[in-house]
Amino acid sequence: MTVHTDALHSAPHIICFSAKNHRGEVLVHALEEKEVFVSTTSACSSRAKLESSTLHAMGVPGNQATGAIRVSLSYENTKAEAEQFIYFLKDILQKINEVVK
């Protein structure tokens, strides 16, 4: 897992990361099945299917940029929801890794 969000120079409620050798869209759809909604793009470029120009400018390699996921939280999200997201993500990655072997 690689976190692309710079903690010092970014909005504190948004995190962007990628999982090595995993396509962002696959993770987005798997999380949707759990009713967890994340994105592979920023809100201002959600219709574009190109590599993120922001991640490119940050020096993120192309394979990581195309696999990046963006998670936005609000003041209404709870710690339990964050923990559930982490649980779902770990479970999804494990299942994908078992299939891909």
Which residue numbers are catalytic?
44
Decide: 18 and 64 in contact? Cβ < 8 Å: yes
Helix (H) or strand (E) holding 86: helix 79-100
| C-alpha to C-alpha distance for 63 and 52, rounded to whole angstroms | 11
Decide: 46 and 28 in contact? Cβ < 8 Å: no
